[in-house]
């Protein structure tokens, strides 16, 4: 992994040939984003973790291992923590939904539904 723009842009190693893969996080400017210079679209950690959970479920279906389920549980917990942080930061609560958190409906901003 190489850091192209600290906190926002990473170049990930590509296996089995091909060029590196870019992982770009949203970059915003303003009072809520101290230290940021410049802005661009991108994703958020929660979306990456949702994809990672789905990937783990896929590989576990190929070759199951107890570590896969523990890793999924850790990612779900991390996802929950960051969703709580976002809701609190904006003075809102989270709309509880059923099923695994990675499958909860999200808003345009990538976060689970707020009340």
Instruction: Show the beta-strand stretches assigned E in the chain.
Output: 2-5, 9-12, 21-24
Handedness of CA 67, 106, 114, 29 (dihedral sign): positive
**pLDDT per residue over 11-67, tens digit each?**
999 999 999 999 999 999 999 899 999 999 999 999 999 999 999 999 999 999 999
Spatial distance between the Cα atoms of 53 and 64, rounded to a whole number of angstroms? 14
Q: What are the extents of the domains in the chain?
A: 1-42, 44-115
Asked whether 11 and 22 are in contact (CB, 8 A), the reply is yes
Confidence of residue 96 (pLDDT cuts 50, 70, 90): confident
pLDDT at residue 115, as a whole number: 85
Helix, strand, or coil here: 39?
Answer: coil
Residues 6 or more apart in contact with residue 12 via CB below 8 angstroms: 1, 20, 21, 22, 23
């Amino acid at each position: 992994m190489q850091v192209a723009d600290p906190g926002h842009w990473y170049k990930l190693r590509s296996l089995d040939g091909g060029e590196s893969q870019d992982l770009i996080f949203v970059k915003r400017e303003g009072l809520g984003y101290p230290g940021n210079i410049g802005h661009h679209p991108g994703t958020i950690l929660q979306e990456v973790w949702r994809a990672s959970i789905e990937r783990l479920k896929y590989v576990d279906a190929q070759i199951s291992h107890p570590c896969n389920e523990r890793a999924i549980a850790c990612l779900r917990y991390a996802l929950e923590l960051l969703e709580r942080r976002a809701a609190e930061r904006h003075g809102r609560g989270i709309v509880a939904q059923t099923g695994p958190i990675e499958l909860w409906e999200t808003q345009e901003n990538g976060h689970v539904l707020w009340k």
